[in-house]
């Protein structure tokens, strides 16, 4: 089908609505909905609310109904296939049918096996005209982690690093504040805020004592914190305990007294013993999928970064590049020495943008 300019306009409005749900819907997808009359008048709009609350279609229907609009014969533009199953909320496809909607444009089919085409089928069975594929790429990007988890059982791992032009993330003495400017640092908090969880390692905790929370972005939800701490060295007085959020520590050895103390502080401990008494990272990522995490934001040191990269577990690199040359220092990842260039990891540039005086690069693995 050829979509009209009006169709594109209304679906972009729906995507704008979905963007407003960026920080609040985990583990659900970010969805927006716009309802228009047959002649294109905006009747209602809305986006998915936090887990257990109304989905985008319900919010848009409520908005239109609060303005006393008759929705018979109206058109709904939704950024993801309306759900067809009874979960914490009722099926959105039934709500659209009951409202008298005549046409539904859904950007992309829901990858959730509980939905996956069933919502569209029920709409069609009710005599509703259904179209898909309008701004599909944009809708999929907005929920890239949700799609990965539904299709592969594991979250989308995004590794963030701030570095100089010569690839250093810190000086030899560990000093790294601040390689990048304020605009880049604020933007980094935006990426933290959209993630379900932030993942770091014990080396970062012991060296920097970071908060690892969201500060530069107004968000109603702090992402969970995940730590790779093979030997349970997390200090009980570390700053990371200051935030009220879920803390999961992955370890590889048992130390009953330390385990008892960390649990008393509120941490959840998961023992995944791998080779060399290190955490089994593949098992950890599978576990993160079982925890219903869609996007995991990695902010770690060069050792854990290198281990995750060598294991092939990173989907995306978020690199803030500062116009500095700082000489010998600490690189972004501890990777093995290569003898041939064809052994190098290949990444592709996905997006670039200026962040003040710095440059933000998004790179993806060409899997």
Catalytic residue selected from 57, 295, 299, 316:
57
Give the separation between CA 353 and CA 341, rounded to whole angstroms.
28
User: What are the Cα distances from residue 15, in Å, to 74, 139, 309?
Assistant: 19, 7, 32
Bridge partners, residue 159, by sequence: 298, 317
Contact present, 223 and 214 (Cβ < 8 Å) = yes
Residue in the block written with tokens 């067809």: 84
Q: Is 57 in the active site?
A: yes
Contacts of 313 (CB under 8 A, 6+ apart): 157, 281, 282, 285
CA distance 295 to 159: 11
> How far from 195 is each of 39, 149, 211, 243, CA to CA, in Å?
39, 13, 16, 16
As given in the structure block, the two tokens for residue 255 are 């130390």
3-state SS class at 92? helix
Q: Identify any residues that bridge with 42 across adjacent strands, giving them in sequence order.
A: 36
Report the alpha-carbon distance of residue 130 to residue 120 in Å, rounded. Answer: 7
Query: Within 10 Å of residue 172's Cβ, how many Cβ atoms?
Result: 11
Residues with active-site annotation: 57
């Amino acid at each position: 089908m050829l979509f009209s300019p009006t169709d594109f306009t209304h679906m972009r409005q729906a995507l704008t609505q979905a963007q407003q749900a960026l920080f609040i819907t985990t583990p659900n997808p970010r969805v927006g909905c716009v309802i228009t009359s047959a002649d294109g008048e905006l009747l209602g709009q809305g986006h998915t609310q936090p887990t257990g609350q109304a989905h985008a279609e319900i919010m848009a229907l409520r908005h239109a109904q609060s303005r006393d609009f008759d929705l018979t014969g109206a058109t709904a533009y939704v950024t993801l296939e309306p759900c067809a199953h009874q979960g914490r909320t009722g099926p959105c496809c039934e709500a659209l049918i009951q409202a008298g909607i005549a046409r539904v444009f859904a950007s992309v089919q829901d990858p959730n096996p509980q939905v996956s085409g069933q919502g569209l089928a029920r709409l069609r069975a009710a005599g509703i005209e259904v179209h898909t594929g309008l701004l599909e790429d944009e809708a999929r990007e907005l929920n890239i982690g949700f799609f990965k988890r539904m299709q592969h059982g594991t979250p989308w791992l995004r590794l963030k690093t701030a570095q100089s032009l010569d690839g250093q993330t810190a000086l030899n003495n560990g000093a790294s504040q601040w390689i990048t400017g304020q605009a880049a640092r604020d933007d980094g908090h935006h990426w933290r805020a959209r993630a379900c969880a932030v993942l770091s390692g014990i080396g970062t905790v012991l060296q920097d004592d970071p908060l690892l929370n969201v500060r530069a972005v107004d968000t109603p939800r702090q992402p969970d914190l995940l730590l790779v701490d093979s030997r349970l060295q997390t200090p009980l007085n570390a700053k990371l305990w200051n935030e009220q959020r879920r803390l999961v520590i992955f370890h590889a050895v048992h130390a009953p007294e330390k385990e008892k103390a960390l649990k008393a502080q509120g941490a959840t401990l998961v023992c995944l013993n791998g080779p060399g008494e290190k955490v089994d990272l593949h098992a950890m990522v599978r576990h993160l999928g079982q925890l219903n995490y869609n996007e995991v934001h990695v902010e770690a040191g060069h050792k854990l970064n290198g281990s995750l990269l060598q294991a092939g577990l990173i989907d995306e690199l978020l690199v803030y590049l500062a116009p500095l040359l700082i000489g010998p220092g600490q690189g972004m990842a501890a990777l093995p020495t290569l003898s041939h260039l064809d052994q190098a990891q290949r990444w592709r540039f996905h997006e670039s943008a200026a962040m003040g005086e710095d440059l933000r690069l998004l790179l993806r693995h060409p899997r």
